[in-house]
Amino acid sequence: MTLIKKKVAVLMGGWSAEREVSLVSGGAACKALTELGHEVLAIDVQRDALRLIQTLTMQSTGKPDVILNALHGRVGEDGTMQGLLEFIGIPYTHSGVMASAIAMDKPLMKVVAAAAGVRCPEGIVITRQKIIDDGYPLKPPFVIKPTNEGSSVGVRIVQSEDDIHKIEEDGWIYGDTVLIETFIAGHELTVAVLGYGYEAKALAVTELCPKGHAFYDYTAKYSSGETEHILPAQIPQDVYNEAMRLSVAAYKAAGCQGAARADFRWDDTKPGLDGLYFLEMNTQPGMTPLSLLPEQAAYAGLPFNNLIQWMLDHPTCPA
């Protein structure tokens, strides 16, 4: 089949806490698109919506055929950028407005997943002022998360009262509302999902084993040699299959599109499938050399350039 050459605008950078990772993802995507023969317009997105609209709709060059959205974090993957692209009428990769907004809001994603029968850790959304006035609502061990950041930005594991004091000393810069969750001990698992319309397929299960880190945090994600990726995960087959099934269930419940990734914890001290818990859905997974989506796609027979082409062939199209 002859590949149809397209004009592709790659959105990257931005101003979220994940700017640097986004630039790497975008650079990798641009390289692949060029190798595939597409016309590439690389855009480092600034905080200027009018300028971005003008760049994407220049009469002299015409609109891009499709946007490859390589932005990570707020604005880029929380429905904001998706809404702008819907407004100007350009197809774009990954999930649409609603699914992006749902998945980026961790408490809301938990509600949606739970309604679809996907087990989540017990959690409480609470304001920072309420914590100051009354203390933390759970006893250690628990996890503190920003309600709407990606790449584990701001996530803290509290194992003891000493950890609480350290967090208070470090300060908090991620907003007035936080999510407090019961800590699930055990294995860290992740599953990439590719979908289009009502069809969705889980690619594989990877176990993540950070070296010298309490969990798969930002540094462990994006620093070479910091985390061992065990692909496929060496876990019981029933747990493996259930992680694959629940990933698709959560993906569909949120209304995701294109590529996404579901994260889990599995407590192997519990019988059967009782220890498997869904944590969150990432609707725009990283595309860096250390990223999990490209790794799982290659394992499933879809090398990086083919994955990029698949994304172009299955965009979200404005109504």
Give which of 194, 210, 223 is closest to 289, Cα–Cα. 223
How high is the pLDDT of residue 139?
Answer: 85
Which of 13, 18, 95, 277 is labelled catalytic? 18
* 267 belongs to the catalytic site: no
Q: 300, 203 in Cβ contact below 8 A? A: yes
Question: pLDDT-derived band of residue 74, with 50, 70 and 90 as boundaries?
Answer: confident
* 169-178, 210-219, 303-312: least confident range: 210-219
Provide mean pLDDT across the span 76-94: 96
**CA 301-23-77 angle, 5° bins:** 75
* 121-125, 210-214, 215-219: least confident range: 215-219
* 73 belongs to the catalytic site: no
Which of 77, 78, 188, 280 is labelled catalytic? 280
Q: How many CA atoms lie within 13 A of 176 on its CB side?
A: 2
* 198 belongs to the catalytic site: no
Provide mean pLDDT across the span 121-135: 85
* 25 belongs to the catalytic site: no
Which of 150, 282, 291, 295 is labelled catalytic? 282
* 69 belongs to the catalytic site: no
pLDDT above 90 (res 167): no
Question: pLDDT-derived band of residue 293, with 50, 70 and 90 as boundaries?
Answer: very high
Which of 136, 216, 218, 222 is labelled catalytic? 222
* 263 belongs to the catalytic site: yes
Give which of 259, 247, 262 is closest to 310, Cα–Cα. 259
User: Tell me: the pLDDT tens digits for 224-276?
Assistant: 567 899 999 999 999 999 999 999 999 999 999 999 999 999 999 999 999 99
Strand-pair category, 66-69 with 7-13:
parallel
Among 3.40.50.300, 3.40.50.20, 1.10.1660.10, 3.30.420.40, name the CATH number for the domain at 7-93.
3.40.50.20
| CA dist., res. 158 & res. 32, Å (int) | 41
| CA dist., res. 270 & res. 275, Å (int) | 5
CATH for 101-120+185-283 is 3.30.470.20
| CA dist., res. 252 & res. 295, Å (int) | 22
pLDDT above 80 (res 149): no
Question: pLDDT-derived band of residue 165, with 50, 70 and 90 as boundaries?
Answer: low
140: left (phi over 0), alpha (psi -120 to 50) or beta: beta
Provide mean pLDDT across the span 170-183: 75
How high is the pLDDT of residue 141?
Answer: 87
Please give the C-alpha separations between residue 154 and each of 83, 107, 217, 272, in angstroms, as whole numbers.
Answer: 26, 15, 9, 32
* 299 belongs to the catalytic site: no
pLDDT above 90 (res 219): no
Give which of 118, 120, 176 is closest to 148, Cα–Cα. 176
How high is the pLDDT of residue 227?
Answer: 82
Which of 151, 152, 247, 291 is labelled catalytic? 151
Question: pLDDT-derived band of residue 217, with 50, 70 and 90 as boundaries?
Answer: very low
48, burial (CB in 10 Å: exposed 0-12, middle 13-18, buried 19+): exposed
Comparison of pLDDT for 259 and 141, the residue scoring more? 259
Q: Which residue in this structure is represented by tokens 């994304």? A: 311
Q: What percent of the chain has pLDDT over 70?
A: 88
How high is the pLDDT of residue 211?
Answer: 73
Provide mean pLDDT across the span 191-212: 91
Comparison of pLDDT for 150 and 184, the residue scoring more? 184
Q: 81, 69 in Cβ contact below 8 A? A: yes
Which of 77, 207, 263, 295 is labelled catalytic? 263
User: Tell me: the pLDDT tens digits for 14-65?
Assistant: 998 889 999 999 999 999 999 999 999 999 999 999 999 999 998 667 789 9
310, burial (CB in 10 Å: exposed 0-12, middle 13-18, buried 19+): middle
Q: 97, 318 in Cβ contact below 8 A? A: no
Torsion of CA 159, 281, 118, 205, to 10 degrees: -90
**Domain 123-182 adopts which CATH fold?**
Dna Ligase; domain 1 (3.30.1490)
How high is the pLDDT of residue 100?
Answer: 97
Instruction: Break the chain into its structural domains and give their ranges.
Output: 7-93, 101-120+185-283, 123-182
How high is the pLDDT of residue 242?
Answer: 98
